Amino acid sequence: MSHLLDDTDLAILNHLQDNGRAQRNTIAELVNLSVPSVSERMKKLEERGLIEGYNAILNSKKFHFDITAFIFVQVDGSENYRDFVDKAIVEPEVLECHSITGDGSHFLKVRTKNTGSFESLLSRIQAWEGVSKTRSNLVLSSFKETRKLPVEHAVELIKS
Amino acid sequence: MSHLLDDTDLAILNHLQDNGRAQRNTIAELVNLSVPSVSERMKKLEERGLIEGYNAILNSKKFHFDITAFIFVQVDGSENYRDFVDKAIVEPEVLECHSITGDGSHFLKVRTKNTGSFESLLSRIQAWEGVSKTRSNLVLSSFKETRKLPVEHAVELIKS
DNA sequence: ATAATAACCTTAATTATTTAGGTAATCAAT
DNA sequence: ATTGATTACCTAAATAATTAAGGTTATTAT
């Protein structure tokens, strides 16, 4: 089977997870390869879809988004999932929308500017068709909020 | 008061949120500025800390991380918060660790390769000092998993 | 009004990335 | 085992992107 990852790929992936705009010569130095070789590896990782993309991380506090909360939403079984999602998707304050185990349960991660905007978002959600119950938890503090995948644990992809 | 954001800054931020490795000339075209002007704006947004950094987004499915779950952890009030976090932080499968409203409640977002590794992570967590109760919800599907902040809503930062 | 600052531009210099072409190592099939 | 194809790498050259320099205009504060 071809297309396995070696330690060099893992090092590149790990570096890019923390440093998405890292330059190829920096990475090349890190992994002891020439710049074109790093370019080629990066291109392959992108083409294979292992790297989905890159993004800038903004500091939500600096934008005065002070409230992060999780909301469980119980949805009436007869209600269409897609409709729920369609409504969630247009709310820019909804950062994530998951369907989870438990009867008709959906789960939202939201970020709002203050308690007022949180309350109004919540009541908008409660007014959606089929929503029978919600339960919210506000985040007091976050000790780890990384999106970094521990790629070195994906052993079946890794060669040697 | 100085240091407000205008529409050009917002356009740059929005573009970078989706496209973290975007080149300055692409952005320059988008916002009708010269390349050096875009560079200067980006540098300021970084220096001001509005942009915290950049990262590569990996496709967790391609790495065979098939389970995403949320775990509520009730912690004994006498137990030190820091100790909890210290233990959570060393687990690479723990993506997020939040302290939330509700008595002694912590909340974890975890990503594991399969149900087996999830079970073993969960029982490790249950064995931590002071942990009195856990409740887990597995993610069935995620319809929106963006980290994109709706910056245009941060009106008090915005000029004009 | 005037000086200082900020934001922008163009051009030139520098630095990063890609392309081209070649070599050694791996792998599949004869 | 040998051959041919492929892959991963390298160096050097060409191209493209970024930064630096210097100047203009507009805004802001005194």
Q: Are B131 and B81 in contact (CB under 8 A)?
A: no
The answer to whether A35 contacts chain B (CB < 8 Å) is: no
Query: What's the N-to-C CA distance of chain B in angstroms?
Result: 13
Same domain, A68 and A122: yes
The H-or-E segment that residue B101 falls in is none
Q: Using one digit for the tens of pLDDT, what is the confidence trace for A10-62?
A: 999 999 999 999 999 999 999 999 999 999 999 999 999 999 999 999 999 99
Q: Are residues B64 and B132 in the same domain?
A: yes
- For residue B156, the number of C-alpha atoms closer than 13 Å in the C-beta half-sphere is 7
* B2 vs A: CB within 8 A: no
Looking at this predicted complex, what is its ipTM? 0.90
Question: In which domain, by residue range, is A19 found?
Answer: 7-55
- Beta strand extents in chain B (DSSP E only): 51-58, 67-75, 94-100, 105-112, 131-145
Q: Are A134 and A128 in contact (CB under 8 A)?
A: no
Q: How many domains does chain A have?
A: 2
Question: How sure is the predictor about B59, in pLDDT bands with cuts at 50, 70 and 90?
Answer: very high
Min Cα distance B26 → chain A (Å) is 15
Q: Which residues touch strand D (CB under 7 A)?
A: A 2, 8, 32-37, 40-41, 44; B 2, 23-25, 35-36, 39
Pair (A94, A67) in one structural domain: yes
Q: Is a pLDDT exceeding 50 seen at residue A2?
A: no
Most distant CA pair in chain A: distance in Å?
59
Gap from A58 CA to D26 C1', Å: 30
Same domain? For A64 and A133 the reply is yes
A128 touches chain B (CB under 8 A): no
CA B48 centroid distance within chain: 19
State pTM to two decimals.
0.91
A102 CB within 8 Å of a chain B CB:
yes
Give A-chain residues touching B95 at CB under 8 angstroms.
144, 146-148
In a domain, B119, yes or no: yes
| Residue closest to A93 by CA, chosen among B146, B102, B104, B59 | B146
Question: CB distance B141–A97 less than 8 Å?
Answer: no
| Average pLDDT across chain B, whole number | 90
